């Protein structure tokens, strides 16, 4: 197995000690300088990721600010020799709980060495549900870099106004699943200004979604948890005004997110004094078109954090398609699967048996091993791969944030509250949990538990919480 330096354990301890602070509640004992630093950024959703050369990403700021204060010397982080035996004695009986189905899988890895300390069916491919988003995150950050932003543009092939004929402009979707009305409004303002400078007062609006190919509908079918996957959408196609800008949770979705986004953009242009000749028409933009205006998403680092914290399916499907585009593959379900698996294989991760049919984990035919999940988490903590750090900082904090906010409340799991960062996964009969925790001896442990055919989601979740909480003691 590939080796990681002991420095990753130091980083892991820093990340775990600052877990609640990174998630939002700042009264957790995090040092004042770190609180002041975070407040100065004016951002939410995890650690700040400064710009820079995409090939040389900066280390996670959360590590540098608290290293001396929180991290003990590396030599003090030696794992107890009896830790593997202790894990077998503790976790073995818990895995036999009927609440986890007939044959759950488990893997616990010492992040500093890459050594597996405990494994039970760790190489068995199983349905991961949303824990597959960890693979999505690693592949996207590796392929695109943390500073990459996704653009939505407006272009025209008309050099100037043509008498009484409206100027044709095209709204080109770039695959940004976080595009919302606020940014569309700014894009419309920039577009109107550019057109006025050209003497244009009437336009024919087109919209281009040709970046993506293949089926728009996820195999799960129409569902409140994901919109049709298109290169252009507004508020993830959410129909409820109160949910449109919240993201991350279930809500009724439009059957035509791209068309709806184009309609909103047309309204915004008219509000800015431009006439539009008829409704928007879907059409590919001319190859020789000039760019009038552009709006960019937040960096991939921030998108990854938001995807993991809120288990955002739309962002997940966007990121795997961006990974496919970078690899020169079709931006489709099939192309994304090929691109992600190829990227992980190139990173020498144990992808044997993996089937990554989507980026979100909603596909019940997805397969992943608990061993791969812990390898992905360990790689994200590698000090030589700082561009992957958002995989760790984006994980929800037990009892405090994201999809773990309401968990770890039972007596047998309460010790994990605030101490564990983990990605959840839930489908009917499928429950999973994968994340990090500082265990005995101060070692950062990566863990993954996968359960199928569990009798009930609530009891399975409590059993998974109990399993992971035991790693803190």
CA distances to 37, 61, 316, 353 from 148, in Å: 23, 18, 15, 30
CA distances to 19, 62, 165, 356, 399 from 416, in Å: 12, 21, 66, 30, 8
SS3 371: helix
Helix (H) or strand (E) holding 206: strand 202-208
Instruction: Identify the CA nearest to 449 among candidates 434, 429, 466.
Output: 434
Which listed residue (133, 142, 332, 468) is catalytic?
A: 133
Which DSSP string corresponds to 217-285?
S-TT-SBTTB----S--SGGGB-SHHHHTT-SS---B-S-HHHHHHHHHHHHHHHTT-EE-SS-EE-PP
Which listed residue (311, 332, 370, 401) is catalytic?
A: 311
Is residue 76 annotated as part of the catalytic site, yes or no?
A: no
DSSP annotation of 416 = G
Residues 6 or more apart in contact with residue 33 via CB below 8 angstroms: 65
Residues in the chain: 473
Is residue 326 annotated as part of the catalytic site, yes or no?
A: no
Is residue 277 annotated as part of the catalytic site, yes or no?
A: no
Instruction: Identify the CA nearest to 257 among candidates 234, 281, 289.
Output: 234
Which listed residue (8, 97, 107, 130) is catalytic?
A: 130
Torsion 277-280-286-287 (CA) sign: positive
Burial class (CB in 10 A: 0-12, 13-18, 19+), 46: buried
Helix (H) or strand (E) holding 186: helix 181-197
Catalytic sites, residue numbers: 130, 133, 311
């Amino acid at each position: 197995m590939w080796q990681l330096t002991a420095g990753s354990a130091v980083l892991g301890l820093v990340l775990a000690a600052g877990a609640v602070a990174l998630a939002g509640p700042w009264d957790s004992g995090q040092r004042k300088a770190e609180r002041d630093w975070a407040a100065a950024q004016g951002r939410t959703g995890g650690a700040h990721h400064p710009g820079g050369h995409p090939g040389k990403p900066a280390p996670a700021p959360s590590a540098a600010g608290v290293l001396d204060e929180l991290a003990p010397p590396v030599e003090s982080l030696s794992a107890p020799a009896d830790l593997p035996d202790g894990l077998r004695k503790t976790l073995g009986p818990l895995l036999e709980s009927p609440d986890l189905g007939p044959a759950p899988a488990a893997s616990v890895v010492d992040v500093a060495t890459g050594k597996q300390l405990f494994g039970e069916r760790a190489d068995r491919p199983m349905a991961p549900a949303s824990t597959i988003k960890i693979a999505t995150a690693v592949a996207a950050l590796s392929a695109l870099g943390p500073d990459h932003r996704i653009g939505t543009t407006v272009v025209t092939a008309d050099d100037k106004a043509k008498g009484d004929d409206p100027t044709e402009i095209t709204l080109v979707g770039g695959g940004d699943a976080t595009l919302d009305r606020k940014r569309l409004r700014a894009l419309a303002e920039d577009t109107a200004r550019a057109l006025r400078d050209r003497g244009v007062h009437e336009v024919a609006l087109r919209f281009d979604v040709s970046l993506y190919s293949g089926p728009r509908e996820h195999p799960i079918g129409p569902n409140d948890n994901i919109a049709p996957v298109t290169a252009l959408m507004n508020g993830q196609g959410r129909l409820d005004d109160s949910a449109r800008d919240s993201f991350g949770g279930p809500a009724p979705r439009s059957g035509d997110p791209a068309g709806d986004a184009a309609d909103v953009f047309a309204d915004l242009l008219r509000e800015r004094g431009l006439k539009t000749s008829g409704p928007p028409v879907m059409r590919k933009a001319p190859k020789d078109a000039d760019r009038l205006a552009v709006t960019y998403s937040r960096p991939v680092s921030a998108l990854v954090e938001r995807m993991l914290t809120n288990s955002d399916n739309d962002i997940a499907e966007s990121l795997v398609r961006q990974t496919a585009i970078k690899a020169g593959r079709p931006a489709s379900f099939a192309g994304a699967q090929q691109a992600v698996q190829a990227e992980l294989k190139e990173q020498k991760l144990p992808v044997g048996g993996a089937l990554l049919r989507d980026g979100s984990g909603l596909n019940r035919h997805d397969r992943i091993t608990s061993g791969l999940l812990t390898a992905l988490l360990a790689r994200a903590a590698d000090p030589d791969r700082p561009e992957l750090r958002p995989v760790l900082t984006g994980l929800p904090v037990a009892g405090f944030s994201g999809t773990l906010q309401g968990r770890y409340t039972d007596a047998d799991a309460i010790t994990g509250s605030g101490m564990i960062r983990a990605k959840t996964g839930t489908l009917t009969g499928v429950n999973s949990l994968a994340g990090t925790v500082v265990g005995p001896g101060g070692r950062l442990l990566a863990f993954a538990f996968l359960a199928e055919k569990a009798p009930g989601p609530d009891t399975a979740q409590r059993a998974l919480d109990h399993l992971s909480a035991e790693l803190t003691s």
